[in-house]
Amino acid sequence: MIDFTENDLQQLNSKGISREKVLDQIETFKEGIPFVDLEKAAVVGEGISRFSDEEQRALVEYFEANRESLALLKFVPASGAASRMFKAMFNFLDAYHPKEESLSDYIERTNDKAVKQFVDGMENLPFHNLIMGRILVDGTSKGEIAHQFVKEMLTEEGLNYGFYPKGLLPFHTYNNSATPFEEHLKEAALYAKTNGKANLHFTISEQHDAMFKAEEASASPRIAEVTKTDFKVSYSNQKPATDTLAVTLDNTPFRNSDGSILFRPGGHGALIENLNDEDADIIFIKNIDNVVIDANLEDVANSKKMLAGLLLKVQAETFEKAKHLDKGNLAADEVQEIKEFLEQQLNVRFSTNYTDLEQDNKIAVLKEKLNRPIRICGMVKNEGEPGGGPFFIKDQEGNTSLQIIESAQIDMNNSEQVAILKNSTHFNPVDLVCAVRNYKGEKFDLLNFVDTKQGFITGKTKEGKELKALELPGLWNGAMAFWNTIFVEVPLVTFNPVKTVNDLLKPSHQA
């Protein structure tokens, strides 16, 4: 048992974290989090739907015919700082000394492919002209120019991009440079607008509040005029109550040098709380760094509308079945029909003992499985990009469900599990369209549909001491584990993440 001091209890109270929650997290550290049990990869025809061009057009038309009566929201997780995006460049700044060796000698010596790609493509970066206008380049070598460029790009004395929120960096160059924030506004005007208004919600870090509001004040009127859209933008921060405990290697709370307990941000899974605070008929979810140039906007918008059209169709049938169940007096064939709908349309799997249940118990199971949030998840063909993927998994009770699984959740020492992973054909670009209300119009409490056993335990260090950290189940992983899920193949053009600065050199980011 942990003896909490008076200071500990005050600390917990200030963060809104209960003593019981801390004890539960300690138990999680002690027990460990088991790897998921992959049954098979979801593929087209079994777990992933693929629609013909004609079918896609029909779904887009269905969405267009219904959108004006709907409350739409674009939800953008935007909390990330850009520091990881510039990791290789920070290393270059420390490791390369232009007065001591040429750039070509440095690249040959270190085989630093990221720096070579960066320098070779530097002129195509959206902030190239801005930086070149701020540094002294007369009579200097290529290495000195590159070093000055990176220093101006990253450091506090320069543009400080290394500590910017990713959503406010220049990503694309038109007449002016455009940030991801601005590009999300353009997208929202195409598929998240009703009656001339588009609602967007960005989850951001508290220290970036003023920066985002300044960008909104600058970008929103410009995009509003071009797109004839009235943008309503709201923001939230990750809640302190979702921070997770860090422990020592013997599973006792890790303490800072001042004696306080160390808590760490719980990862993007904490944002299920922020999502739960929002209410709309349809919520589009897409990461801040996944934006496209203007030339590809229409293709992306049509893909989103297609997913939303499918969601509306499936939801209408789900609501009809849920109403029917609530009325009662169903014949056995009607019960069977609802079960088949859940299996065929919503990928729901039933336990082996379902057939042995009495009629009333079968109906109770069907009600429980029908009355869940629904998510349509776009999936792109696997072309070697990192990220999670779509799989059928088995839980500890032997129940099968369709999930988005990250590689960190898979036992890489289990050859059978690795074989299933290697057989996967698609991966998750974080392209979700969600419905969060029941047929009565009541909003689901999304916290009731989280699988708390799908988090991660990782090893970290602080002040030279080893610790264990707990990451909450990911927003589109365990945080949505008990949603009804449909995976749909979407075109690769919808997936344009910027994980490193060199991704901005890809043709898909060259406007």
Provide the number of structural domains found in the chain: 2
State whether 125 and 196 are in the same domain. no
* pLDDT for 54: 98
* pLDDT for 419: 92
Return d(Cα 434, Cα 374) in angstroms, integer.
6
State whether 105 and 180 are in the same domain. no
Is residue 1 over pLDDT 80? no
Residue 388 — very low, low, confident or very high, per pLDDT cuts 50/70/90?
confident
* Domain contains 1: no
State whether 176 and 108 are in the same domain. no
* Domain contains 4: no
* Domain contains 159: yes
State whether 331 and 440 are in the same domain. yes
State whether 335 and 394 are in the same domain. yes
Residue 139 — very low, low, confident or very high, per pLDDT cuts 50/70/90?
confident
Give pTM, 2 decimals.
0.94
Contact criterion met (CB below 8 Å) for 473 and 408: no
> What's the pLDDT tens digit per position in 63-73?
999 999 999 99
State whether 106 and 227 are in the same domain. no
* pLDDT for 329: 82
For residue 330, the domain's CATH number is 3.90.550.10
Return d(Cα 267, Cα 110) in angstroms, integer.
33
> What's the pLDDT tens digit per position in 396-436?
888 899 999 998 899 999 999 999 998 899 999 999 999 99
* pLDDT for 386: 58
For residue 397, the 8-state DSSP code is T
> What's the pLDDT tens digit per position in 244-290?
999 999 999 999 999 999 999 998 999 999 999 999 999 999 999 99
Residue 79 — very low, low, confident or very high, per pLDDT cuts 50/70/90?
confident
Domain range spanning residue 141? 87-164
Proportion of the chain in helix, strand, coil states, percent, rounded to 5: 45, 20, 35
State whether 366 and 265 are in the same domain. yes
* pLDDT for 140: 84
* pLDDT for 452: 87
Q: Would you state the structure tokens that stand for residue 467, as one six-digit string?
A: 């610790």
* pLDDT for 385: 63
State whether 222 and 113 are in the same domain. no
DSSP 3-state of 11: helix
Contact criterion met (CB below 8 Å) for 236 and 201: yes
> Which of 108, 143, 164 is where one domain is finished?
164
Is residue 468 over pLDDT 80? yes
* pLDDT for 30: 93
Residue of 385 and 196 predicted with greater confidence: 196
State whether 157 and 187 are in the same domain. no
Contact criterion met (CB below 8 Å) for 453 and 345: no
> What's the pLDDT tens digit per position in 283-339?
999 999 999 999 999 999 999 999 999 999 999 999 999 999 998 888 889 999 999
How many percent of the chain have pLDDT more than 90? Answer: 87
* Domain contains 503: yes
> Which of 164, 179, 204 is where one domain is finished?
164
> Which of 131, 147, 164 is where one domain is finished?
164
* pLDDT for 289: 95
* Mean pLDDT value across the chain: 94
Total residues found in the chain within this entry: 511
* pLDDT for 511: 85
**Cβ-based neighbours of 353, under 8 Å, separated by 6 or more:** none
State whether 298 and 393 are in the same domain. yes
Is residue 166 over pLDDT 90? yes
Return d(Cα 133, Cα 359) in angstroms, integer.
75
Return d(Cα 336, Cα 339) in angstroms, integer.
5
State whether 72 and 125 are in the same domain. no
